[in-house]
Homo-oligomer: A and B are copies of this chain.
Amino acid sequence: MDEVKSIFEPRKVVLIGSSKMREKVGMTSPQLFHSVAYNMKKFFKGKTVVLDTHRNKGYTDLGQISATPDLAVIMLPPKESIPISETCAKIGVKALVMITGGYKDEQRRKLLKLKEEYGIRILGPNTIMGVINTANGLNTSFERNTMPKRGRIAVISQSGGVGACMLDWACFYKIGISKFAFVGDKIDVSDVELLQYLGKDKDTKVICLYMEGVKNGREFIEEARRIVEKKPILVLKGGITTEAAQRARSHTASIAGSDEVFDAAFKKAGMIRVGNIEELMDTAVALSKQPPMRGDNVAIVSNVGGPAILAADAVAKNGLKLAALAEKTKSKIERLYQGVDASNPIDMIADAKGERYSKVLELVLADKNVDGVLVINMLKSTFFEPKDGRVIPKIASKHPDKPIVDVPAGGEDFSKVYSVLGNTSIPLYNLPEKAVKALKVLRTYGKILGKH
């Protein structure tokens, strides 16, 4: 466990690559090596030593480093990696992150022998992007200057490509991340150990997994089951169809079982399955910012008609219910605002500004018949301005027991409201259907917690 901790929380890191050696496919290249060095120097708050095997012939140089690093990040081709890994193990490095791929079975066995002999732990090989920890700035990815915002979502990816896509997504949409781990071929450090670590990690509130297969199924499910009592686990499974599964096998050398088996296992473990990367990120944001939903009843509060109807459709399609508001709530709202129809979905009309949202949300959140609220505040075709949105987190903070999600539907409208509310506790979605999906996942987690 301590060694796995060293992967994410080292005090000192040695980055080992070459400014000359080039082997594109396995991600060995001077350019990528320099990019990782750039990221480590720019972001990592601990100490980074960069060892260029081209300039420092003979790997014994490592011995000259005054204090032993906890972690070595290796970006050399397999043949060159093995002796340097051995040197690392001998001098007491606790863990290796093996960025490069293309290892043969014999080479993997040699690496594993180091673990057996010296206790050194290995993430990868073929992790491609390695690890990111936004708390201490550790960033072994070779995407120069790419660092997600600090937050409470951890991501484990079995695929470099899918992981890179999630990283890109998180950075672009400013999604708060705690840790990123690209597991690669998993010859040593397993999903189970990563789950264990993230389960205990104080910075992590939600765990996202992209997986194609699993090695120790039973152990994995048991660990997940324990963790979901404290924090939700979202999972995106790749290789669900026969052909894709075949490809997944050769892709990350993992055993992909039938999709039904996985589905049953996820359910048993209390993991929540999602359909694509956007859904994974969208629902992770909801889980990281909002409480689980304790019943099925959703209230929709909107300044436009059509999008509220689409939201109501999505509520039904997702097996949730439109809350039947208490008569008292309805009459209070309708007394306050002439012309407003307070039947759910509540149409507050196009001239609703912050004040009306504030009062109506206050009444709706206080209604016992309401378990969660979906707010729609379009800018186009209405009088709403982005700053009006500030009332939403304010009112929400008075009702920390009920989830609330917000839909500034559209492209530009979404980005304008996001620039005002993106950093608050309110998850934002560009379409009603995505917000309803987020509520659905909050409800699912509510049910999972209820069972335990």
Contacts and interface: CB of A to CB of B under 8 A. Distances in A.
Given A172-B412, A247-B345, A276-B433, A162 B306 contact: yes
A332 B409 CA distance: 48
B168 A411 contact: yes
A411 B381 contact: no
Nearest to A316: B241
B410 A168 contact: yes
Contacts of A158: 306
A391 interface: no
Nearest to A380: B164
A339 interface: yes
A159 interface: yes
This protein's copies in its complex = 2
A42 interface: no
Interface residues of A, number: 80
Contacts of A250: 341
Contacts of A424: none
With most chain B CB atoms within 10 A of its CB, the pick from A25, A339, A380 is A380
A214 interface: no
A63 interface: no
Contacts of A344: 243
A192 interface: no
A378 B165 contact: yes
Interface in A158-179: 158-165, 167-173
Interface string A134-163: 000000000100100000000001111111
A278 interface: yes
With most chain B CB atoms within 10 A of its CB, the pick from A165, A170, A378, A413 is A165
Interface in A266-287: 275-278
A351 interface: yes
Contacts of A98: none
A306 B161 contact: yes
Given A25-B350, A173-B411, A277-B431, A247 B343 contact: yes
A46 interface: no
Contacts of A172: 410-412, 415
Given A161-B381, A341-B250, A345-B247, A171 B309 contact: no
A403 interface: no
A251 interface: yes
A171 B414 CA distance: 13
A313 B312 CA distance: 29
B412 A312 contact: no
Interface string A216-242: 000000000000000000001011110
Contacts of A168: 378-380, 409-413
A278 B146 contact: no
A27 interface: yes
Contacts of A309: 159, 212, 238-239, 244, 247-248, 251
A412 B344 CA distance: 38
Contacts of A315: 241
Given A276-B431, A350-B25, A160 B305 contact: yes
B169 A411 contact: yes
Interface string A330-356: 000000000101011101011100000
A165 B307 contact: yes
27 contacts: A24-B350, A24-B351, A25-B339, A25-B349, A129-B381, A158-B306, A160-B381, A161-B378, A161-B409, A162-B306, A162-B307, A164-B382, A165-B307, A165-B409, A168-B410, A173-B411, A212-B309, A238-B306, A240-B316, A241-B317, A243-B312, A244-B312, A247-B305, A247-B309, A247-B345, A247-B347, A276-B433
Ranked 5 nearest A-B pairs via Cβ? A172-B411, A159-B306, A161-B304, A168-B410, A162-B306
Given A165-B304, A168-B412, A250-B341, 13 more contacts: A25-B350, A27-B350, A157-B306, A160-B381, A162-B306, A162-B307, A163-B306, A169-B411, A243-B344, A244-B316, A244-B345, A247-B309, A247-B345
